Amino acid sequence: APALDAHRLRADFAVFDEIVDGRPVAYLDSASSTQKPRQVLDRMRHFYEHEYANVHRGVYRLAERATEGYESARRTVAAFVNAPSEREVIFTRSTTEALNLVAYAWGLDNLGPGDVVVVSELEHHANFVPWQYVASRTGASFRHIPIDDAGELQLEALETLAGEGTIKVVATGLISNSLGTINPVERIAAWAHEQGAIMVVDAAQAAPHRAVDVQALGCDFLAFSSHKLCGPSGVGALWGRRDLLEAMSPFNLGGEMIRSVGLDRTTFNELPYKFEAGTPAIAEAVGFGAAVDYVSAVGLEAIERHEHEITVYAMGRLGELGFVRLFGPPVERRAGIISFAVEGVHPHDVAQVLDWEGVAVRAGHHCTQPLMARLGVAATTRASFYLYSLPEEVDRLVDGLHKVKRSLG
Q: Please give the residue ranges that form the binding site for ligand PMP (CB under 6 A).
A: 94-96, 124, 126-127, 173, 177, 202, 204-205, 225, 227, 236, 367
User: Can you tell me the distance from the alpha carbon of 246 to that of 93, in angstroms, rounded to the nearest whole number?
Assistant: 21
76/205 with CB nearer ligand PMP: 205
Least Å distance, CB 49 to ligand PMP, is: 27
Residue 236 φ/ψ, nearest 5 degrees: -150, 180
Least Å distance, CB 368 to ligand PMP, is: 8
- Could you tell me the CA-to-CA distances from 131 to 46, 134, 135, 142, 220 in Å, in that order? 40, 5, 6, 8, 16
29/51 with CB nearer ligand PMP: 29
For residue 221, the one-letter residue type is F
Alpha-helical runs (H) found in 28-81: 38-50, 61-80
User: Can you tell me the distance from the alpha carbon of 252 to that of 249, in angstroms, rounded to the nearest whole number?
Assistant: 10
Alpha-helical runs (H) found in 248-375: 282-298, 300-319, 347-356, 369-375
What is the pairing mode between strands 221-225 and 337-342?
unpaired
Least Å distance, CB 139 to ligand PMP, is: 26
Span between the terminal Cα atoms of the chain, in Å: 44
DSSP label at 369?
H
Least Å distance, CB 395 to ligand PMP, is: 26
- Could you tell me the CA-to-CA distances from 15 to 21, 27, 155 in Å, in that order? 14, 10, 42
- Listed in sequence order, the residues at least 6 apart from 280 whose beta carbon sits closer than 8 Å to its beta carbon are 55, 70, 91, 235, 256
**Crossing angle, helix 38-50 and helix 282-298, to 10 degrees?**
150
183/195 with CB nearer ligand PMP: 183
Least Å distance, CB 94 to ligand PMP, is: 3
236/329 with CB nearer ligand PMP: 236
127/381 with CB nearer ligand PMP: 127
Least Å distance, CB 339 to ligand PMP, is: 12
Residues designated as active site: 367
11/378 with CB nearer ligand PMP: 378
